[in-house]
């Protein structure tokens, strides 16, 4: 049984699948394009994110405009928040 559990955990790690159902994740990147409002498709750091009207937009570190560094906080597939960040958070990308 321990071997089976270890195998499942290894498979989850290799495949990038979360072991638990509660998967909260952050992604940092530069805004490449965004809709006029909040809802719609945002392209950030080479990835596309479908954002809804319920997504919180936190612009404490400046406006969320093209070229800005942001953190995308999501729970599963739902985008919970897009938050502007200091540029240094995106420099390693």
**Domain annotation covers residue 27:** yes
**Domain annotation covers residue 16:** no
Q: How much is the pLDDT for 39?
A: 95
**Domain annotation covers residue 84:** yes
**Domain annotation covers residue 3:** no
Q: How much is the pLDDT for 12?
A: 44
Q: How many separate domains does the chain show?
A: 1
Q: How much is the pLDDT for 53?
A: 93
Domain CATH code at residue 81: 2.40.50.320
Residue ranges in the chain assigned as alpha helix (H): 2-15
Give yes or no for a contact between 16 and 26, defined as CB atoms under 8 angstroms apart.
no
Q: How much is the pLDDT for 13?
A: 43
Q: How much is the pLDDT for 93?
A: 54
Q: How much is the pLDDT for 62?
A: 95
**Domain annotation covers residue 13:** no
**Domain annotation covers residue 53:** yes
Question: Which candidate, 70, 35, 67, places its Cα nearest to that of 53?
Answer: 35
Give the domain range for residue 54.
22-90
With vertex at residue 48, the alpha carbon angle to CA 45 and CA 89, rounded to the nearest 5 degrees, is 25
**Domain annotation covers residue 6:** no
Burial class of residue 51 (count of CB atoms within 10 Å of its CB; 0-12, 13-18, 19+) = buried
**Domain annotation covers residue 4:** no
Tens of pLDDT, residue by residue, the chain (93 residues) = 555 544 444 444 444 444 444 456 789 999 999 999 999 999 999 999 999 999 999 999 999 999 999 999 988 888 999 999 999 889 865
> DSSP E strands: which ranges in 11-86?
24-33, 40-44, 47-51, 56-58, 69-75, 78-84
């Amino acid at each position: 049984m321990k071997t089976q559990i270890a195998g499942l955990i290894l498979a989850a790690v290799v495949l990038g699948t979360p072991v638990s159902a509660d998967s909260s994740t952050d992604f940092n990147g530069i805004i490449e394009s965004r809709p006029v409002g909040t809802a719609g498709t945002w392209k950030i750091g080479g990835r596309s994110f479908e954002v809804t009207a319920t997504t919180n937009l936190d612009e404490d570190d400046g406006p969320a405009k093209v070229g800005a560094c942001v953190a995308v906080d999501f729970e599963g597939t739902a985008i919970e928040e897009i938050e502007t960040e200091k540029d240094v958070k995106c420099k390693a990308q």
